[in-house]
């Protein structure tokens, strides 16, 4: 069941209206979970970093031993063709995806070149600027590269994220602040995370347990251009309890303020607002 509305699907060389069936019961991706995807956004007539998201889905496919079959430039062109059917003021989630069709060794290793590909476009509104979430801890942790394909945006990683999120929701919170294998903060169940202290910005250092996102990198670059210090470093849960502001960074909503971590409350502060303004200003400059 789709999240959004007004869905269009690119499959087997053309665009289709609606949420088209694309996988078969015997596809490797259906029964062994060899699926990858990426997510980009279209809003205000803009599709920021679309090329970076398309390039990353190809890297994700390779990490799962799925042969990528669509070059980045061609993928971007196809997506822009599909977006032309939407109003300029529509907010659209852009999801290119690959899956393995056949298995090789013992049926487990994906067969080279046997690849399914589709693109799903669906309208999903952008959140209002001050729409905040809340965080709590979870007993579930991010895996390491030796245990899972954490270097890919892979569908098989998301059941772990789902149980983090379900635990947080059961406790009455919007999301979970998640630890890595050593107990340091990695990200949340659905997005990268930043904190602000004394006017400086801090975010967990990429350590091979989570994807350091494209939007995350954009925020870091935008802040650096404004002379704001951003520290990629090891952070504890106590560091977040001592923070002045906390916000999430993800493709879906770009910047999400955090109003609380357990019983610690935060304002939607000036740095969080500035990060959002900088992102929208940068995105407008790419038009």
Q: Is residue 93 one of the residues assigned to a domain?
A: yes
Tell me: do 155 and 88 sit in the same domain: no
Q: Any idea what the CATH number is for the domain that residue 55 is in?
A: 3.30.470.10
- Please state the rounded mean pLDDT for residues 129-138: 96
Domain boundary among 96, 123, 150: 123
pLDDT in tens, 159-168: 999 999 999 9
Q: Contact, 46 vs 79, CB < 8 A? A: no
Q: Nearest CA to 110 among 125, 96, 97, 100?
A: 100
Q: Choose the final residue of a domain: 123, 146, 175.
A: 123
Q: Which residue range(s) make up the domain with 272?
A: 133-285
Q: Do 142 and 107 lie in a common domain?
A: no
User: Residue 287: its pLDDT value, please?
Assistant: 80
Domain count, the chain: 2
Can you tell me the mean pLDDT for 52-58?
A: 98
Band of the pLDDT at 31, cuts 50, 70, 90? very high
In this prediction, residue 154 carries a pLDDT of 98
Q: Are residues 138 and 279 in the same domain?
A: yes
Same domain, 113 and 157: no
Say if residue 2's pLDDT is above 80. no
Three-state DSSP state, 121: strand
> Does one domain contain both 118 and 144?
no
For helices 72-83 and 50-63, the axis angle rounded to 10 degrees is 130
Exposed/middle/buried for residue 57 (C-beta within 10 Å: 0-12, 13-18, 19+) = buried
**What's the pLDDT tens digit per position in 177-216?**
999 999 999 999 999 999 999 999 999 999 999 999 999 9
74 is a domain residue: yes
Asked if residue 228 belongs to a domain, the reply is: yes
Q: Is residue 128, in this structure, part of any structural domain at all?
A: no
* 109 and 143 part of one domain: no
pLDDT band at 88 (very low <50, low <70, confident <90, very high): confident
Residues 158 and 274 in one domain: yes
- What CATH number is associated with residue 153? 3.20.10.10
In a domain, 19, yes or no: yes
pLDDT at position 106 is: 84
Q: Are residues 81 and 178 in the same domain?
A: no
Pull the structure tokens for residue 120.
């799903």
Instruction: Report d(CA 119, CA 144) in Å as an integer.
Output: 29
Cite the DSSP H helix spans in 38-125.
50-63, 72-83
pLDDT at 27: 97
Q: Are residues 87 and 202 in the same domain?
A: no
Q: How confident is the model at residue 25 (pLDDT cuts 50, 70, 90)?
A: very high
Q: Return d(Cα 156, Cα 117) in angstroms, integer.
A: 17
Q: What pLDDT score was predicted for residue 279? A: 98
Q: Is the pLDDT reported for residue 1 higher than 60?
A: no
What is the chain's mean pLDDT, rounded? 96
Span 171-178, average pLDDT: 98
Q: Are 11 and 61 in the same domain?
A: yes
End position of a domain, from candidates 123, 151, 178: 123
The confidence score (pLDDT) of residue 3 equals 83
């Amino acid at each position: 069941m789709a999240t959004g509305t007004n869905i269009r699907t690119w499959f087997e060389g053309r665009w289709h209206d609606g949420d088209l069936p694309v996988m078969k019961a015997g596809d490797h991706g259906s029964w062994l979970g060899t699926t990858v995807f990426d997510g980009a956004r279209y809003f205000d007539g803009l599709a920021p970093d679309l090329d970076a998201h398309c390039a990353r889905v190809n890297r994700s496919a390779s990490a799962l031993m799925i042969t990528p079959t669509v070059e980045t430039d061609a993928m971007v062109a196809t997506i822009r063709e599909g977006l032309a059917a939407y109003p300029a003021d529509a907010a659209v989630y852009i999801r290119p995806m690959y899956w393995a069709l056949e298995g090789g060794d013992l049926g487990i290793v994906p067969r080279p070149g046997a690849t399914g590909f589709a693109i799903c476009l669906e309208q999903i509104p952008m959140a209002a600027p001050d729409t905040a979430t809340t965080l709590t801890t979870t007993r579930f942790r991010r895996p390491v590269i030796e245990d899972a394909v954490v270097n890919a945006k892979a569908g098989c990683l998301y059941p772990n994220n789902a149980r983090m999120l379900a635990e947080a929701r059961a406790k009455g919170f919007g999301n979970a602040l998640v630890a890595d294998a050593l107990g340091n903060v990695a990200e949340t169940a659905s997005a990268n995370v930043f904190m602000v202290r004394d006017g400086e910005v801090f975010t967990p250092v990429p350590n091979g347990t989570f994807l350091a996102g494209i939007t995350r990198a954009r925020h870091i670059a935008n802040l650096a251009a404004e002379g704001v210090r951003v520290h990629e470093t090891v952070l504890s849960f106590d560091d977040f309890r001592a923070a002045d502001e906390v916000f999430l960074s993800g493709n879906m909503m770009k910047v999400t303020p955090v109003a609380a971590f357990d019983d610690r409350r935060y304002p939607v502060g000036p740095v969080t607002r500035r990060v959002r303004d900088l992102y929208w200003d940068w995105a407008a400059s790419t038009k």
